Amino acid sequence: MRGDPGGLAAFKRVAFVQCVGSRNVTLGRGYCSQVCCRYALRLAARLRRDDPGRRVAIFYMDLQVSGKDVRMRWEELGRGVELIQGAPASIVAGEAEVLVRYEDLRQGRVRQEPFDLVVLS
């Protein structure tokens, strides 16, 4: 990508929420497409590379990653993409930001954080 074709430069806090609409047996969608995580990792790494000061977080149940470029993605993730295991309890759009409420399994507490953009996949 050259320039800022999607207007992403304005977004300094970006969250990806994985497994939205899938992996839910109650809804009859117990499957996983096995592509969303790989794309989210690639986009997250790209967003960080384009703006190292940007905060990028990925909320996930478990990462479904395979393929020859996975090793490269993991190395890039070490450069600032935050991996948060668990699905958000709520996502609420405000006037200036989107509030994501989730359980932080590492710290054992519920947290709420603002983001400029939340990508559902």
pLDDT recorded at residue 66: 67
Residue 2 belongs to some domain of the structure? no
User: Which of 12-16, 50-54, 114-118 is predicted with the least confidence, judged by mean pLDDT?
Assistant: 50-54
Q: Which 8-state DSSP code applies to residue 67? A: S
pLDDT band at residue 27, thresholds of 50, 70 and 90?
A: confident
Token digits of residue 17: 């929420």
Round to whole Å and give the CA distance between 52 and 86. 25
Its domain, for residue 25, covers 10-120
The CATH number of residue 40's host domain is 3.50.50.60
Q: Which 8-state DSSP code applies to residue 41? A: H
Residue 48 belongs to some domain of the structure? yes
Q: pTM higher than 0.85, yes or no?
A: no
How many domains does the chain fold into? 1
Round to whole Å and give the CA distance between 86 and 63. 11
Residue 4 belongs to some domain of the structure? no
pLDDT recorded at residue 36: 81
Average pLDDT over residues 12-34: 81
Residue 70 belongs to some domain of the structure? yes
